[in-house]
Amino acid sequence: MATVIAVDAMGSDQAPQPELEGAKLAVRDYGVEVVLVGREEQLHSALGANPDPRIRIVNATEVIGMDEKAAIAVRSKRDSSMRVGLKLVREKVVAGFVTAGNTGAAMATAKMVLGTLPGVDRPALAKPHNLEQFAVMGDLYSSHVLKIAKPRVGLLSIGEEESKGNDLTRESFALLRDLPLNFIGNVEGRDLFNGNADVIVCDGFVGNVALKASEGLARLVRTELRKSLGSNPFYLLGALLSKGAFDRFRKRLDYSEYGGAPLLGLRGACIIGHGSSNARAIFNGIRVAAEFAQSGVNQEMEESLTHPVAHTSTDSSTTPVI
């Protein structure tokens, strides 16, 4: 039976076109079924005549805008596409939910509708024990969904020494060091890009700054490389001869190839994408949601966070546990 994924069809900056096109690609290439959640009349019109039967629509009359305050929008818009889609996850009508909408509203709505796993206070906070939870969840996500054996877990700080950082990172270091993880200690900003760590743990504020800085860096590299290659016909010829290598390089830097990131610690799969997501980003977001739902990682997280002492195996040939 095909995995069914709900998509917030009103979420992205250019909605609903990227969501519709991404859904079409996903049912064609991944064999999933997609439920588009949004304003029914608008979506039927956009899909056109004779739509793919593997794509269906669930009506939601309200939309949470990017500029709306999350707390107010979540309370006032009870028939938003986010809320309706997450209810489908809670009721097990679908296996996961993908949105490229307002991140704060998505997190607040997901926590309210789905609730958190036992042992998880909330999807994001800036307290040492929350970073401990993030480390556990990141380790399990990396091993079960990304298939990384014995993921290297680092704590983002301003220096590699244990004494470096603020109160949050120093207290978190002690907690992470005592977990049965492959904890490699503090890592710095440069380690976001050099591959020294598979999981980098930080609080939500620092993580958002790092993420946006990384996006800006990727755009700068692409733009400047394009300018440089176009400045000389010989450079352009070399670029044409190296097209395959440049295509692989572009994919490594292209956020749409990754689709979105899971909001870990919830009783269900919720994938959040970039507001500027295109059809390919939605397509890959659906893939991530399906892989997350099929992996059983939530059950592992619940077990590990509720009974952390019971899981002390260090044999990398078995399923990683914490």
Per-residue pLDDT for 306 more than 60? Answer: yes
Q: For the chain, what is the HEC assignment?
A: CCCEEEEECCCCCCCCHHHHHHHHHHHHHCCCEEEEEECHHHHHHHHCCCCCCCEEEEECCECCCCCCCHHHHHHHCCCEHHHHHHHHHHCCCCCEEEECCCHHHHHHHHHHHHCECCCCCCCCCCCHHHHHHHHHHHHHHHHHCCCCCCCEEEEECCCCCCCCCCHHHHHHHHHHHCCCCEEEEEECHHHHCCCCCCEEECCHHHHHHHHHHHHHHHHHHHHHHHHHHHCCHHHHHHHHHCHHHHHHHHHHHCHHHCCCEECCCECCEEEECCCCCCHHHHHHHHHHHHHHHHHCHHHHHHHHHHCHHHCCCCCCCCCCCC
Q: Which CATH topology does 1-123+263-296 take?
A: Isopropylmalate Dehydrogenase (3.40.718)
pLDDT: is 237 or 13 the higher one?
Answer: 13
**pLDDT, tens only, 177-221:** 999 999 999 999 999 989 999 999 998 889 889 888 888 888 888
Mean pLDDT of the residues in the chain: 88
Average pLDDT over residues 286-304: 90
Q: In what order do the strands lie in the sheet with 182-187?
A: 182-187, 152-156, 199-201
Q: What are the pLDDT digits (tens) for 13-35?
A: 999 999 999 999 999 999 999 99
The confidence band for 320, taking pLDDT boundaries of 50, 70 and 90, is very low
Asked if pLDDT for residue 315 goes beyond 60, the answer is: no
Residues 6+ apart with CB under 8 A from 212: none
- The neighbouring-strand residues paired with 38 are 59
266 phi, psi to nearest 5 deg = -100, 160
Please give the single-letter amino acid code of residue 130.
N
Residues pairing with 8 in the sheet: 37
pLDDT at residue 311 greater than cutoff 60:
no
Query: In which band, very low, low, confident or very high, does the pLDDT at 247 lie, cut at 50, 70 and 90?
Result: confident
The tokens for 25 are: 């690609």
pLDDT of residue 305: 80
Task: Measure the CA–CA gap between 64 and 242, rounded to whole angstroms.
Answer: 44
Instruction: Examine the pLDDT at 252 and tell me if it is beyond 80.
Output: no
Q: Distance (Å, rounded) from C-alpha 103 to C-alpha 263?
A: 10
Strand partners of residue 56 = 35
| C-alpha torsion sign, points 96, 101, 107, 113 | negative
Residue 163 has pLDDT above 80, yes or no: yes
Q: Across 83-87, 128-132, 227-231, 302-306, which has the greatest mean pLDDT?
A: 83-87
pLDDT tens for 265-286 read 899 999 999 899 999 999 999 9
- pLDDT tens-digit profile of 22-72? 999 999 999 999 999 999 999 999 998 888 999 999 999 999 999 999 889
pLDDT value of residue 240: 83
Structure tokens at 233: 């016909």
Instruction: Kindly tell me if the per-residue pLDDT of 309 is higher than 50.
Output: no
Note the Cα 63 to chain centre separation in Å: 21
Q: Check if the beta carbon of residue 42 is closer than 8 Å to that of residue 59.
A: no
pLDDT tens for 130-162 read 899 999 999 999 999 999 999 999 999 999 999
Q: Distance between CA atoms of 33 and 262, rounded to whole angstroms?
A: 19
pLDDT for 308 equals 52
- 223-232, 243-252, 279-288: least confidently modelled range: 243-252
**Average pLDDT in the 108-128 region?**
80
Is the CB of residue 138 less than 8 Å from the CB of residue 153? yes
Residue 321 has pLDDT above 60, yes or no: no
- pLDDT of 307 above 70: no
- The percentage of the chain sitting over the pLDDT mark of 70, rounded to a whole number, equals 93
For the chain, report the end-to-end CA distance as a whole number of angstroms: 32
State the Cα–Cα distance between residues 245 and 241, nearest whole angstrom.
9
Quick one: pLDDT at residue 122? 64
Does residue 126 register a pLDDT over 90? no
